[in-house]
Amino acid sequence: MKRIIGLSLLSAGLLLTACGSQQTKKATEIKDSATAMSADSASSKTFAASEVDNKKDPTCGMPVTAGIGDTAHYENHVIGFCSTECKNEFLKNPKAGLAAAELKK
């Protein structure tokens, strides 16, 4: 009798462990999938020149009408950049770059 109860408890414990690991695996897969989707969404977002307050990328001087790959908010302005790299460079010293942005009136 003790042997049957012991085996039953052991089986139940193994079942719960297996079930728990599958739930953890599913949660990880869902999280990874959501992260991939948000990364895809972020990289595919496009901005129109009318959505930003500058005429030129303040880092490289490219006109925003050629394409905007990223934006940043600075001193109540939405600044458009051709790439995330240009945005990151601007954020190192935004005051210096703001003059080069040729803000719209």
DSSP assignment string, 15-83 = HHHHHHHHHHHHHHHHHHHHHHHHHHHHHH--B-GGGSSBSB-TTT--BGGG-B-EEEEETTEEEEESS
User: Between 28 and 55, whose confidence is greater?
Assistant: 55
pLDDT at residue 73 tops 50: yes
Residues 36-61 have a mean pLDDT of: 75
Distance CA 104, CA 2 (A): 83
Q: Which span out of 5-9, 33-37, 53-57 was modeled with the highest average pLDDT?
A: 53-57
pLDDT at residue 15 tops 50: no
Structural tokens at position 35:
């992260």
pLDDT at residue 34 tops 60: no
